[in-house]
Amino acid sequence: MYDTVNIYERNEARGLSLLASFGKHLDNVSEHFNASGETWISGSLKNYKVSVSEKSYHLKGSLPKFYLNDNMQVLGRSETERAIEKISDLLHWNISKGKVTRLDIGQNFILNNPPEHYIKYLGQSKYFTRLEQKGSLYYTNSLRVLCFYNKLAELKKKRVNIPSEFRNSNILRYELRFTQRLTRQLNQPEITIKDLYSDRFYIEMINRWVKEFETIDKINDMRNDIKGLKQAKPKDLINHLAAERIKEIGLNNVLQMIDEELKQSKAFARPEYYTRAKQLIRDLYNKPEQSIKTEHIKELSNQVHKMTDYYR
């Protein structure tokens, strides 16, 4: 489940020089000086970018790419422990006490249809700003990001060799990226590397990854036509026609129009009306008698929840 893992540690008087210890094990080493005259070096350890001073070090990169030579895969708990041991061996420095400053949790799903067919059914989330791009979808706030994208398209764009067994697959990647203030978000005083392969923490991360998926509104399909209405009243017809129009424009487009266009023009008399209007539109569109949960969302949701079967 782990992908990007960024690591930071201060030199707590181990009696060893970080510059001397790290420098001889890095590739592409260059020396730098800051404004106060302090020396630091930068280099690489395979795909990891490394910066080191006498007081601290930073490592930034994808752990599965380091350990497995690609990030098509992700690392489970035991594989993560072995990857950390490998980094420590190469650096001749035990990094298990280092602090995690960024953590990405993700999984690839092989689905029945192209990833774009699933992305369009993922709606708004009250905790994030939704940003859709060609072939990808991001939910962002100041602390973390949810990302859905076509994994094969990303690899082709980067000209990465794709294993033959995956070349004709429909692969959707879902990632949860903790980019800022990790300890505050996870309500822990500190998060060290060795936490990543503890049972408790690993299970908590999978549960959090599933929970964030559930914060996203899922968009239903509309039932075929008004002939499906039974024991209806005139207002039910009006609601159905309105829902059809929302479908034609796109539910996400309508909600975005309220946030961007109507708010900017101060169309409503009171600020709370924007939130109320969006909820009314969601309720109208998703009425059980005129909409049905799409098979795409059922398939994707099943895949996401299935990951809790693999806590170990």
Q: Are 127 and 141 in contact (CB under 8 A)?
A: yes
Question: 209 and 225: one domain?
Answer: no
Phi and psi angles of residue 23, each rounded to the nearest 5 degrees, phi first:
-55, -40
Question: 202 and 231: one domain?
Answer: no
CA neighbours closer than 13 Å in the CB half-sphere of residue 44: 8
Question: 177 and 231: one domain?
Answer: no
Query: Going by C-beta distance under 8 Å and a sequence separation of 6 or more, which residues neighbour residue 157?
Result: none
Question: 86 and 114: one domain?
Answer: yes
Around Cβ 149, how many Cβ atoms within 10 Å? Answer: 21
Q: What is the DSSP string of 75-133?
A: B-HHHHHHHHHHHHHHHTS--TTSEEEEEEEEEEEEESS-HHHHHTTB---TTSEEEEE
131, 213, 136, 102: CA torsion to nearest 10: 90
Domain membership of residue 175 as a residue range:
2-7+63-214
Average pLDDT, rounded, for the chain: 86
Q: Which residue has the higher pLDDT, 186 or 16?
A: 186
Q: Which of 179, 214, 249 is the last residue of a domain?
A: 214
Q: Are 23 and 41 in contact (CB under 8 A)?
A: yes
Show the tokens assigned to 25: 């094990």
Does pTM surpass 0.85?
no
Q: Is the per-residue pLDDT at 287 higher than 90? A: no
Reported as a single tens digit per residue, the pLDDT across 22-76 is: 878 888 888 888 777 778 888 999 999 999 888 889 999 999 999 998 777 788 8
Angle at 211 between CA 79 and CA 4, to 5 degrees: 35
Question: 191 and 264: one domain?
Answer: no
pLDDT band at residue 140 using 50, 70 and 90 as cut-offs = very high
Question: 73 and 204: one domain?
Answer: yes
